[in-house]
Amino acid sequence: MSVDPASSSSTDSPEASADTAESPPVRRRPRGLILIVVALVLGPVIYREYPREMARWRVAAALNARSADDNEKARQLLDEAFAWDPENRPARLQQARWQMQDEQLDEALAAYDQLVKESPADTALMMERADAYLRAGKPETAIEVWKTLEKQAAHASTAERAVVLNGLAYFRAVGNIELDEALEDVELAIKLIGEDAAKLDTRGYIHYRRGDYQAALADLDPAVKEVEQKFTQGGLDAHTVAVIHYHRGLVHQALEDKVAAEADFERVRSLGFEPNDRLY
């Protein structure tokens, strides 16, 4: 029996017809265009950040070299950092610190002045600048920096204000300047957040500067006890312990208690420092 072609075609399913239809071409993403867009967006970022990153690596390597007492290598690496990024802030700050350590005082102070000029609200940097001026034998300028910090801290938290007041009082004591105001500052700091070794040391040292040795011992004895306990527990650095022992040793010396004074000074030496006026 023959099959009618018309009858056969009428039995074809719609799906079969659809399958035999030509599929539309697949659209491919213009990868070249995407790469161009990415390059346009990221190119300037990479161009800007790459030198900074290269400088950052060299500053880190310079710190490692300096800690290994390879000062020549440290200077070379820092020079390389500046070659990559002449205005690199971490490199400039590290250079200022090393200049202070190497007694290149004028260069260091000029560097700190410029850094603070660029970031006048950087409290930590201003404190470091004040310390640089004090170590350079310019306590009056250092104290002026702390007075600026005190004005800036007027609306800061109670704890931050107390830290600044104590710092101003301590720098006045180290410089042996404005001792009455220094005592008022530290008393206010204690009133704000209470006594601790740092404030007791400051007040005790102010009493020593004023010639009130018994009052100085009344503050420095508990300060020494507190810092020794914290140092034993690993919660305090050796420098802080040495400074407070040095201050108490000065008081014992003023009271002509040579044995007690030498005991404090020997403790300072055991911590790796010398009991002299460069220790503060």
CB neighbour class for 90 (10 Å; exposed up to 12, middle 13-18, buried from 19): middle
Q: Which element (helix H / strand E) includes 148? A: helix 139-152
Higher pLDDT, 266 or 17: 266
pLDDT class for 239, splitting at 50, 70, 90?
Answer: very high
Helix and strand numbers, DSSP H then E, in the chain: 14, 0
Q: Which CATH superfamily is domain 103-194 in?
A: Tetratricopeptide repeat domain (1.25.40.10)
Alpha helices in 176-257 (DSSP H): 179-193, 197-210, 213-232, 238-254
Say which residue the tokens 């820092």 belong to.
Answer: 78
pLDDT tens digits, one per residue of 172-212: 999 999 999 999 999 999 999 999 999 999 999 999 999 99
The answer to whether 124 and 110 have CB atoms below 8 angstroms apart is no
Our CA dihedral for 264, 274, 60, 105, rounded to 10 degrees, sits at: 130
Q: What is d(CA 52, CA 90) in angstroms, rounded to the nearest whole number?
A: 10
Domain ranges of the chain: 47-101, 103-194, 196-280
pLDDT at 49: 67
pTM of the predicted protein model: 0.76
Higher pLDDT, 82 or 94: 94
Q: Does the pLDDT of residue 10 top 70, yes or no?
A: no
Q: What is the mean pLDDT of residues 159-173?
A: 97
Q: What is d(CA 205, CA 169) in angstroms, rounded to the nearest whole number?
A: 10
The answer to whether 182 and 172 have CB atoms below 8 angstroms apart is yes
Q: Does the pLDDT of residue 5 top 70, yes or no?
A: no
